[in-house]
Amino acid sequence: MAQITLKGNPVETVGTLPAKGSEAPFFCLIRTDLSEAGPADFHGKRMVLNIFPSLDTAVCASSVRKFNQDASSLENTVVLCISADLPFAHKRFCETEGLQNVVPLSVFRSPEFGRDYGVTITSGPLKGLLSRAVVVVNSDGIVIYSEQVPEIVQEPDYANILKVLG
């Protein structure tokens, strides 16, 4: 389990992120049109899994905007924005913000995603939501970067992520 904080208060997750060099766990998440999406849909591309608690928080919304901006310059790369928000909320947010370079995905039918990626929060007021984390998977399905953000209200290390993506 990862020990992180929410505004300085300790919070725990169900496990730890997949390790660098490991095979990324399979997932089946829900798109804004309620269709399913999994690794096969992004075959041959690098995947940036931008995982966060909810679009209805300033930091989560900011991370989706930032990844949308950066994604347009990344070759052979798809950014998946993953939270427990319903697909309808993802759609509304992306349409309102004019975000077209990220793939919004919901875990609302897939609680195993949080367990398999070690990001389900198990204590504190956000219990049941996902922690803020980033996992980068290469085109062969191998984890090449993982970051569990230590403080939920902190943004991920975008510069380091972009450096890994070269």
List pLDDT tens digits, range 106-158.
Answer: 999 999 999 999 999 999 999 999 999 999 999 999 999 999 999 999 999 98
CA distances from 90 to 34, 130, 140 (A): 11, 15, 28
> In the annotation, is 60 catalytic?
yes
Contact (Cβ atoms closer than 8 angstroms) between residue 32 and residue 94: yes
Q: What is the mean pLDDT of residues 10-30?
A: 96
Chosen CATH of 3-165 out of 3.30.300.180, 3.50.50.60, 3.40.50.720, 3.40.30.10: 3.40.30.10
Question: pTM here?
Answer: 0.93
Residue 135 token pair: 């996992």
Residue-level pLDDT at 55? 85
Contact (Cβ atoms closer than 8 angstroms) between residue 49 and residue 145: no
The active-site residue out of 28, 60, 81, 94 is: 60
Which pLDDT band holds residue 72 (cuts at 50, 70, 90)? low
CA distances from 4 to 10, 52, 104 (A): 6, 13, 24
Residue 162 token pair: 């972009």
What is the gyration radius of the CA atoms in the chain, in angstroms?
A: 14
